[in-house]
Amino acid sequence: MKKKILKELYENAGEYISGEELSERFQVSRTAIWKHMNALKKEGYAIETAHKKGYKLVDVKDQLLPEGLRRDLTTKEIASKLIYFETIDSTNNYSKTIAREAQHGTVVISEEQTLGRGRLGRSWSSPKGEGVWMSIILKPEILPSEGAKMTQIAAAAVCKALRDTTGLEAYVKWPNDIVINGKKVCGILTEMTGELNEIYYLIVGIGINANIEKFPEEFQAIATSLSIEVGEKIDRRPLAVCVLNNFEELYNHYIEEQSLIKTLDIIKKYSAVIGKSIKIIGKNKERKAVALDINEEGLLKVRLEDGHEELVLSGEVSIRSEKGYI
């Protein structure tokens, strides 16, 4: 019932709809309508109540509320279920607690993360209302060795979405970062649970710095936000929708064709590393190389200082350029 009422509010957004009309339409008491309205308000929906007028959904264009996102999503499976929080420790952490029972494509999204994480256990700042912090729960019938490809799909989906919604020149810093003007604007964290030959679930965490105005001093040289680059506040809702729509298109192509070609077309076109001198930073050593290409499996092909060429696995290293982050 609550979802039906919310749908009516969105269809009449900006206009009042009476409790009596809703009561008659759904064959419930006006008291029941009132209770559902209060429940929606507690979930974060801005609903005005006026005597003899009824209820009105006020402007929520920048909030990442599920019903607002659903209106523009073209996805069939990805985001078929949306779970929304105003604040949470980490969308990836929460996703792991529900992943076994959750349906494929469930998206967990929050206005804030208090313990956001990046790769290698690094912290990720996720202030309230200033970014897109979300995780996608996937249950693909692929081998665990193929799981890292979900990071490539997410990177391509985000890069294309940033370019399409903001006009900014976003690039993919292989394997899991998106950068603008040499600074990180998005990080992707993919986590997997399964056995040797079976994936139970994959969680793809995406964190996009949308409207962060200022970063701590230690991050100012390496991090940026969309609003800093554009010079004005970004509407996060169409951005989140575009990322999810792109992700499903690229994901389905990979599953159906067993090929990353559509994803790699984007990643190669907008690569921040191909053709550049880089550093491959492992656990115990650091090597200089030139990034040559990304192969059909999504692995980075590099040429080391001694002329030897090799393929780098996405989960093994971090990439930094000679001059800093990019």
One DSSP character per residue, 30-49 reads HHHHHHHHHHHHHTT--EEE
Dihedral sign of CA atoms 226, 230, 232, 238 in order: negative
Q: How far apart are the C-alpha atoms of 222 and 48, rounded to whole Å?
A: 42
> pLDDT value at position 315?
61
Distances (CA, A) of 61 to 10, 64, 259, 290: 11, 8, 36, 44
Contact 173, 189 (CB under 8 A): no
Q: What is the pLDDT of residue 123?
A: 55
Of 177, 194, 195, the C-alpha closest to 186 is 177
Supply the pLDDT for residue 321: 58
Residue 41 pLDDT: 84
Domains of the chain, first to last: 2-57 (1.10.10.10), 66-269 (3.30.930.10), 277-321 (2.30.30.100)
Per-block average pLDDT, block size 10, for the chain (326 residues)? 81 83 90 89 82 81 79 94 93 97 97 73 71 97 94 98 97 95 94 94 97 87 95 94 98 97 98 92 85 95 95 74 54
pLDDT value of position 216: 83
Residue type present at position 191: E
